[in-house]
Amino acid sequence: MRILNAAQMREADRYTIEEIGIPSLVLMENAGRQVVAAMEAAYESRLEARVAVLCGCGNNGGDGFVVARTLIQRGIDAGVFIIGSVADIRGDARTNLDILGRLGVTVVEIGDEQTWELHFSEISQCTLIVDAIFGTGLRSSLAGMMETVVADVNAAGIPIVSIDLPSGLSADTPHPIGDCIDASMTVTLAAPKLPLVLPPGEAHAGDVVIADIGIPSDVLDGLEGPRIELLTPEQLRPLVEPRAPDSHKGDYGRVTVIAGSRGKTGAAHLAAIGALRSGAGLVTVATPGCCLPIVAAMAPEYMTEALPDGKGGTVAASAVDTVLAMHQDVIACGPGLGRDAGVAAFVRTLVDRATVPLVLDADALTVLADEPAVLTGREDREIIITPHPGEMARLVGSSVEEVQGNRIEVAGHFAATHRIYVVLKGHRTIIATPEGHIFINPTGGAGLATGGTGDVLTGMIAAWLAQLLDAEAACRLAVFVHGAAGDLAEASIGQVAITATDVVARLGEALNRLTGAEKDA
């Protein structure tokens, strides 16, 4: 699902109105009615009392006028308050304001702080507030009376339904540009916007409902500018096809997991199990010989391959020859591998010589932090890296704070300049492609903040890459299912108690829910 910035939203409106011929009044009517439908679904009991509709002077206010009219026509008591001057309301918004007047609806004009103070006592007695003050067009922080309005509304303790965006947020950045409404629910029009799906803006959005107001999907899909999408089940479901009755393990890919070192054998196990639970036909764990008995004893389903030992129980640089001689479709490398000079030489040589796709994580990224140019894609071989923010910061030579403050830009730039796929893990994991596409994952929560869950994801991506033979699709599907499994584990046992093994245990259920197999059972 496409995520739009302010300019893209304006162009979508313009094209729909001017080129397709759907009148702007129809779009505004659709928007208002969709907001009311969302309110009825979420706050039915609160609509039995009085609703305050706070309207600005632009099109967002026009949507609010439609909301007020629709509520009133359904017998719901709604008070309409214009935050600004009636004289400034023009176009379709003015048309809908005039309709309220002809219906005999009293509209209160609030042009200064004294008038606001006079009427806020009335607003504070309502059971629901509709925020239709600003939409996606806001470019600067709120000031003056608007700051007072936002502060008072937020402090009232009344659920707030924002139209398109909580007033005070900008559609062009996930970072608040100043004070903003703390919405309980945001009904966003046509497509989501960045501050509704990424922190820190998302903390102000509440539950997000995407309203179809009549802009064709082809228009949204064809917009120029940044290509940022939100992963959805509908988009991913076709990637998982039913298996043929006569299929066999060789049909679903051979994955080699190069992982583990003395004291870190669990990482190798988790990556391998993640691959198996994601459908890989054959999984082999290639690990230092000193670690092999431990890894082999952890599960009977994967095979093992002993690699030459280096110093301190890590893999030796010479182990590359052993790995390249193995029969494999995808190599996943890094979990628990260690960080000494021998490991660095091994990873560097593997990246240079491997001819099958590589999924690199954890220590495989850390040992290359001083030479990120090694991580460069080739036409004959794709590379996927799955860094957490600390690993990403080391690769780009910045701080974790800088990475977290610019996740899309950092991941996107590294993917495009190095011609590789970047899966920047964390809350709302970012997937960036060499072509400049960005995907944001909505699944997964704080329960995944525990050791080993990233190792599971590494194995999952490798498994789906071996099956789908499409790096972008493998990243999207694995990241979404991984987060969904985390959500299921969190719902079952809570955030605090989750382990990576709990996530693995729910991968099958998460996949069944995605494909609909659970409903068919």
Rounded mean pLDDT of the chain? 96
Task: Quick: pLDDT tens for 95-132.
Answer: 999 999 999 999 999 999 999 999 999 999 999 999 99
> Is the pLDDT confidence value at 262 over 80?
yes
Written as one letter, the residue type at 373 is A
Mean of the pLDDT values across residues 421-425? 98
DSSP state, 15?
I
Question: Where does residue 403 rank: exposed (0-12), middle (13-18), buried (19+ CB within 10 A)?
Answer: buried
The percent of residues in the chain predicted with pLDDT above 90, rounded, is: 97
Confidence of residue 139 (pLDDT cuts 50, 70, 90): confident
Helices assigned H by DSSP within 385-515: 389-396, 400-405, 407-418, 453-468, 471-493, 500-505, 507-515
Is the backbone peptide bond immediately before 200 cis, with ω within 30 degrees of 0? Answer: yes
Look at residue 326 and give its three-state secondary structure. coil
Cross-strand pairs, 92: none
> Is the pLDDT confidence value at 521 over 60?
no
Q: How far is CA 47 from CA 38, 42, 270, 327, in A?
A: 12, 10, 50, 64
> Is the pLDDT confidence value at 138 over 90?
no
pLDDT of residue 75: 95
- 247-516: what fold? UDP-N-acetylmuramoyl-L-alanine:D-glutamate ligase (3.40.1190)
Strand pairing class (207-211; 303-307): unpaired
Of the chain, the end-to-end C-alpha distance in Å amounts to 29
Written as one letter, the residue type at 311 is K
Look at residue 255 and give its three-state secondary structure. strand
Query: Do the beta carbons of residue 68 and residue 35 sit within 8 Å?
Result: no
pLDDT of residue 102: 97
Question: What residue has token string 């009977």?
Answer: 300
Mean of the pLDDT values across residues 345-349? 97
Query: Do the beta carbons of residue 28 and residue 66 sit within 8 Å?
Result: yes
For the chain, residues classed under CATH 3.40.1190.20 are 247-516
Query: Do the beta carbons of residue 187 and residue 164 sit within 8 Å?
Result: yes
pLDDT of residue 246: 95
> Is the pLDDT confidence value at 446 over 60?
yes
> Is the pLDDT confidence value at 519 over 80?
no
Helices assigned H by DSSP within 311-370: 319-324, 341-353, 363-366
Cross-strand pairs, 185: 161, 207
Count of alpha carbons within 13 angstroms of residue 110, beta-carbon side: 24
Query: Do the beta carbons of residue 399 and residue 465 sit within 8 Å?
Result: no
Mean of the pLDDT values across residues 29-53? 97
| Phi, psi (degrees; rounded to nearest 5) at 53 | -110, 110
- pTM score > 0.85 for this model? yes
CATH 3.40.50.10490 fits 2-226, yes or no: no
Task: Quick: pLDDT tens for 163-209.
Answer: 999 999 999 999 999 999 999 999 999 999 999 999 999 999 999 99
For residues 302 and 139, the model is more confident at 302
Describe the strand order of the beta sheet including 358-360 as a list of residue ranges: 2-3, 228-230, 438-440, 430-432, 421-424, 383-385, 358-360, 330-333, 254-258, 282-288, 303-307
Look at residue 127 and give its three-state secondary structure. coil
Mean of the pLDDT values across residues 248-275? 97
Longest dimension (CA), the chain: 85
For the chain, residues classed under CATH 3.40.50.10260 are 2-226
Confidence of residue 483 (pLDDT cuts 50, 70, 90): very high
Q: Tell me the C-alpha distance between 137 and 256, whole Å.
A: 50
Count of alpha carbons within 13 angstroms of residue 296, beta-carbon side: 12
And the tokens for 309?
A: 């030992």
